Homo-oligomer: A and B are copies of this chain.
């Protein structure tokens, strides 16, 4: 059984390569011309550069290397798929024409279907990153205090409703009142807005996976950038969904949170 990787932007694909290597697995990497960091060539033995709309070429690459299991890691900006730099090939164009809606879930689902027809299965993107998943419990030295726990309980209720509606994944709470709700602006912008609104008084952040989170893509992630935002915005506690959230640079993130006395829990 051979594994492949469709590498989008950011560090996610690099971490997958490292995780696989640690288990003695090497991956056939399809790097996306418009997205993937060029240094990926130094981290993988087998890399082919493929433009974002070239689905036929992608399938042929994996078939050539007998790949049957593929991981998708790192963002591919939605807008790229319809850009002039990346005109779709015949196979992609046919697939797009059949799509009733062109949102991210529909697009990735359709790509997964095309791959499946050729005997290539899209698998859990955390397959080689099980060590990076947040396991249930208090992850920092400090546990949430009574007030933070009350905010987390209330926030989880609200965040789960939002995630169920497939809106945002992050909410910011103070004194059991919601200060900010995420939609398209992303986690960091949501936290920064909340900090401005309460003039840098302490906040609690709740970030959740979707109720039926598809682990093949769009898995929630926190990392060093999240750490910086939490510290800058006077967040004192954060809650994640256990077993469904990745923590990149875990040791540094947890050390930074401990130093700033921020409490991180997964539940």
Residues of B contacting A171 with CB < 8 Å? 183
Instruction: Flag whether A193 is at the interface (Cβ < 8 A).
Output: yes
Q: Besides A177-B184, A180-B184, A180-B185, 10 other CB < 8 A contacts?
A: A103-B177, A161-B165, A167-B178, A167-B181, A178-B183, A179-B183, A181-B182, A181-B183, A184-B197, A185-B197
Oligomeric state, in number of copies? Answer: 2
Q: What are 9 sample pairs from A and B whose C-beta atoms fall under 8 A apart?
A: A101-B176, A158-B165, A161-B161, A177-B184, A179-B183, A180-B184, A181-B181, A185-B193, A185-B197
Leading 9 A-B pairs by shortest Cβ distance? A181-B181, A181-B183, A178-B183, A180-B183, A179-B184, A184-B197, A167-B178, A179-B183, A185-B197
Q: Mark A173-217, 1 if CB is under 8 A from B, else 0.
A: 000111111111100000001100100000000000000000000
Nearest neighbor of A168 in chain B, beta-carbon distance: B181
Q: Mark A53-76, 1 if CB is under 8 A from B, else 0.
A: 000000000000000000000000
* Residues of chain A having any CB pair with chain B under 8 Å: 101, 103, 158, 161-162, 165, 167-168, 171-172, 176-185, 193-194, 197
Residues of B contacting A194 with CB < 8 Å? 184
- Give the complex CA separation of A180 and B177 in angstroms: 18
Could you tell me the distance in whole angstroms from the C-beta of A22 to the nearest C-beta in chain B? 38
Nearest neighbor of A196 in chain B, beta-carbon distance: B185
Residues of B contacting A165 with CB < 8 Å? 158, 161
Nearest neighbor of A162 in chain B, beta-carbon distance: B181
Residues of B contacting A177 with CB < 8 Å? 103, 184
- Give the complex CA separation of A168 and B171 in angstroms: 12
Residues of B contacting A101 with CB < 8 Å? 176
Nearest neighbor of A182 in chain B, beta-carbon distance: B181
Residues of B contacting A158 with CB < 8 Å? 165, 167
Could you tell me the distance in whole angstroms from the C-beta of A104 to the nearest C-beta in chain B? 9
